[in-house]
Structure 1
Amino acid sequence: MYLRAVHAEPSIPALKAFLAANPLGLLTTGIPSSDPSIHYLQTTHIPWVLDDTSPSEDTLPTLRGHIARQNPHAKVFIEHAAAAASPGKPFTLQQEVMVLFNAPHHSYVTPKFYTKTKPETGKVVPTWNYAAAQAYGTATVYVDSKASSTITFLDKQIRDLSKKAEEEIMQHERPWEVDDAPAKYVELLRKNIIGIEIKVTSLGGKYKMSQEMGVEDREGVAQGFEGMKTEAGDWIAQTVRERGQSK
């Protein structure tokens, strides 16, 4: 990710808050497989649980997730874990992995929004406004469905993820709980997923929200998005103003 200074978010606590608020991240790996049908590069959407004991400090978090065992991405992990000849134990990948998190809204920005520069010089072109963060780290996978370490990891991960989603995203007063489903059914589903734990070693991100433009052009962008009268437009307009003030 290109982290131009005017767009970059330098605060680790702010970046961790961004991950927590936007938990659906894209896990990307580059790992070889003996199966020619499986691509070297794999990307999977995963809703992550963020473990962070010090949200206000610069300590880096841990991410916990799971994916379907039939996913080609999982098959690569299983292949490498089997080659390590450590049955029943979690397997730590040698290759670095990356997870990309995106803000809920993004948009094309028309040059017509630049109310100062466009009429004065015409030297403006379209762009795209968005916000994103990327976490690099070391991944440990839990692939042996019979191992106690896998069962313990997955049981906690799915419970923590369900609790977060039900309470923070859905905001249910009486949230659905894993124990609401039959135990045998949950056990069956658990056998068909693998666990992934990532120790984050590097965290960076950006808000590309027209900070490179002058005050009048930024306000033109904000007003332009407000004029769309959409949830996305309102969010982008607010973020353009907030990031413009903090640059």
Structure 2
Amino acid sequence: MYLRAVHAEHNIATLHQFIKTNPLGIFTTALESKSFPFIQSSHIPWVLDVDTSRDETHLGVLRGHQARANPQVKAMIEHLKSGTGDESDSRSDRQIISRDVMVLFNGPAHHYVTPKFYRETKPATGKVVPTWNYSAVQVYGRATIFHDSKASLTNAFLDRQIRDLSQQSEVDIMGHKDKPWEVDDAPTSYVELLRKAIIGIEIEITDIGGKFKMSQELSAGDQEGVVEGFEALGTDAGAEIAKTVREKGKLAAT
């Protein structure tokens, strides 16, 4: 991700909150394979764990799961069984992918920005061009894969994962604080059957970066024109962009 200084976000707490608010991340791997594409991506909702007891800043750990039938999963298991995986933990139920993986989280709104919004620069010089406003957080790390459905470690990881993800989604996303849906609401045999069809993924984050490209580089007059232009659209996306442009503009000014 190209992080121009004016658009870059370095505050780890802000980046963590972005992930928690936008948990659907694009999980990308690049693994040599004779059977599957080298680069593969999948949309996965994640749970973020952060150890706040550490003296130093903890970048966090992502937990997720994927369908065992997913070609990306098949490529990862093939990679591990080929002996190219990290043998620091050689148990079949828990192995580490030897290559870095990447997860990209996108913000809730993005939009084309017309030069017609630039009420200061456009009439003065005409030196304006279209662009696109968006926000994103990108993380890199090493992925531990739990893929042996008969192993107790895999079952324990998946049980915790699906319960935590359900709780997070029901309460934080749906707002069901009083009576959220719980895994135990479904028949045990049904849950067990579905659990055998997934694998677990745990990523220790080694690098994280964020980008809010929200017109911070513009003059105050042009920024106000962008805010007014998006508000005038009368859409949810326009309102979200206008709000973020105003917030990031104030931060950039200070």
Q: Under a length normalisation based on structure 1, what TM-score does the superposition of the two structures give?
A: 0.96
Instruction: For 1:58 and 1:166, locate their aligned partners in 2 and report how far apart those are by CA, in whole Å.
Output: 29
**Aligned equivalent of 1:10:** 10
**Aligned equivalent of 1:65:** 64
**Aligned equivalent of 1:209:** 214
Which of 45, 48, 52 pairs up with 1:47?
45
- 1:131-210 to 2 correspondence within 5 Å? 131-172=135-176, 173-210=178-215
1:102–1:133 Cα contact (<8 Å) kept:
yes
Which amino acid letter does the alignment assign opposite residue 28 of structure 1?
Answer: T
Instruction: For 1:89 and 1:109, locate their aligned partners in 2 and report how far apart those are by CA, in whole Å.
Output: 48
1:13–1:58 Cα contact (<8 Å) kept:
no
Which amino acid letter does the alignment assign opposite residue 152 of structure 1?
Answer: A
Cα gap change, 1:162 to 1:91, in 2 (>3 Å): same
The alignment-based identity, stated in percent, is: 58
Q: Residue 233 of structure 2 aligns to a residue in which SS?
A: coil
**Aligned equivalent of 1:88:** 92
Cα gap change, 1:18 to 1:142, in 2 (>3 Å): same
For structure 1, which runs of at least 5 residues remain unmatched after alignment? none
Which amino acid letter does the alignment assign opposite residue 47 of structure 2?
Answer: V
Query: Number of paired residues?
Result: 245
For residue 89 of structure 1, report the CA deviation from its aligned partner: 2.8
2:31–2:79 Cα contact (<8 Å) kept:
no
**Aligned equivalent of 1:224:** 229
- RMSD over aligned Cα, in angstroms? 1.5
Q: What does the per-residue CA deviation read over 1:95-136, in whole Å, with 9 as the maximum and x for residues that have no partner?
A: 000100000100000000000111111110000000000000
Are 1:238 and 2:246 counterparts?
Answer: no
Q: Under a length normalisation based on structure 2, what TM-score does the superposition of the two structures give?
A: 0.93
Q: What does the per-residue CA deviation read over 1:213-240, in whole Å, with 9 as the maximum and x for residues that have no partner?
A: 1000001000100011111111110100
1:87–1:144 Cα contact (<8 Å) kept:
no
Which amino acid letter does the alignment assign opposite residue 110 of structure 2?
Answer: H
Stretches of 4+ aligned residues off by more than 6 angstroms: none
For structure 2, which runs of at least 5 residues remain unmatched after alignment? none
Which amino acid letter does the alignment assign opposite residue 47 of structure 1?
Answer: P
